[in-house]
Structure 1
């Protein structure tokens, strides 16, 4: 979302708030008046408290002699607000504070999305520009407005709540990419793509996620692997992988990569002492020295889940549990 769009949203919300305030008029208006008389003379010539009950008015008696002039009192406040006005002001102030808190929450939710789900759902963002980066504010709920740049245009959720993070099936997208491209994400949301390591970290840092990998092999066999725990660290950790809790009908080829960091051909973070695993096997992964799986390797040759022949397709997806 551009800065001008966010500014227009803020102006719209403020206009709504001002209109709401203008409708909350008071009677009498908020102006200083002389103190109202709370007592009135009765039929016996004495002053009685005004209790609100209306007594029958008697026949006026004879006017008595004028009394002596009293002592001049201290000068009072020339301008004093009615008690009723003060109560109304407090009530309105409380109402407006509540309304502004609601508007503030709505503003944060709309103008400052905390994740890609809010970004797409609330702003109805549905363009196909896969290289566009979006500002998301994952810690806004605690007052921290530090943002992450993620590729929300590759973010999709299927009908069962799975977030698809990687898809390959025909080799139409080159997965031999540099560090920044893997961090940002690439490809086409309705085709082959990689969601992006920054987005993966941003998503998996807000809850417990499971991972499922669906595999189709060139031999025709179909397998799957599920893991009850999946998380990706931040960029300072070099997107360190945490994965465990295997189940499925394929070999377990991910647990051995847990605890390792991401490597690309231009960012060698693997444990191999003599070569860059990403460059040697034409991919990018959480390599050790070098791999037990290579789902981002070159299609038809290095696209592997070893010992079950080469892959023809893969789909990685995660779900909150």
Structure 2
């Protein structure tokens, strides 16, 4: 098949619209390959003129004419195997992906969100206020215990500012919790698990933490769930730590393993910031939820999160 027949074959392919897009790609690709792989041939150099008679310089011979420039798309150049080229064309038509490179535009959305309610994915996010949070199905996690890798035996400043690993065990910080719940309309969800793999939850329809001037006093109402209302016992209680004990019985420093929590005159019924342990070494030690497992059966994990709609 000569170059003319090949041209008409490609033209017919394009006109009949059998492979409209592929044909355009094939023509472009084959031409590109031919231009890249072939070398333009120069014309033959003309003969040098003969020397003149001795004593008189002979006339300089004329330079030969420059050869014609080859076609930009050298389909059918001398020495090219037309059968091989046709096989390449057939392959490209059968597999258009061989000539088409799809570029997927990757757009990195801003990591800053107004709240976890507006987040479309779980995990670590940055709020527009600059606070780093962990979002869980639209809820903002502010406490999580998993395996005891982070110590919760901390003083007042640590509990006010926050500590731990945001994607593992951590406490978000009372200042941040106050700022995000102060407007009201927030709900609380607490998820618990024991060392046998049993799980329970406690939900509260209203949740708020007061300012540092009011000792981060807890406001929590409207229990529902299957763990029992142990956290409601701490309603209206100030927050206490071992170095700033705001309850009358010195619970944070004397009885509860130096944990920071909303302690009452009889300490707490829900004590989720206690020492991480499998076996209790005393009352109020360990991660405790009284109405589910009692005071002397520590839990393996806990997660506290709020949502302000």
TM range (shorter): 0.5 to 0.7
* Structure 1 residue aligned with 2:308: 320
Once the two structures are superposed, residues 136-171 of structure 1 have per-residue CA deviations (whole angstroms, 9 ceiling, x without a partner) of 5xxxxxxxxxxxxxx823x1222x210011111100
Partner of 1:267: 244
For the residues of structure 2 that align with 1:211 and 1:181, how far apart are their CA atoms?
A: 22
Shift of 1:208: 0.8
Corresponding residue number in structure 1 for 2:101: none
State the partner residue of 1:310.
298
Asked if 2 retains the 8 angstrom alpha-carbon contact of 1:116 and 1:152, the reply is no
Query: Is this contact kept in 2: 1:163–1:319, CA < 8 A?
Result: yes
Is residue 2:148 matched to residue 1:171?
Answer: yes
Q: State TM-score, norm by structure 2.
A: 0.54
Hey, what's the Cα distance between the residues in 2 that align with 1:261 and 1:215?
A: 23
> Which ranges in structure 2 are unaligned for 5 or more consecutive residues?
1-111, 281-285
Distance 2:144 2:166 in 1: 9
Deviation at 1:277, TM superposition (A): 3.0
Structure 1 unaligned segments of length 5 or more: list them: 1-112, 128-133, 137-150
Quote the Cα distance in structure 2 between the aligned partners of 1:290 and 1:192: 24
Counterpart contact for 2:141–2:305, Cα < 8 Å? yes
SS in 1 for 2:204: strand
- Measured against aligned partners, the alpha-carbon deviations of 1:182-230 in whole angstroms (never above 9, x if no partner) come to 0000011111000100000000012310000000012331100000000
**Residue number among 128, 135, 146 corresponding to 1:157 in the alignment:** 135
Whether 1:281 and 2:256 are equivalent positions in the alignment is yes
Q: Scaled by the length of structure 1, what TM-score is found? A: 0.52
Alpha-carbon RMSD: 2.8
8 Å contact kept, 2:251–2:263: no
Q: Does 1:234 align with 2:211?
A: yes
Task: Quickly say closer, same or farther: Cα 1:180–1:248, change in 2 above 3 A.
Answer: same
Distance 1:280 1:135, change over 3 A: farther
Q: Is the 8 A contact 1:168 1:313 kept in 2?
A: yes
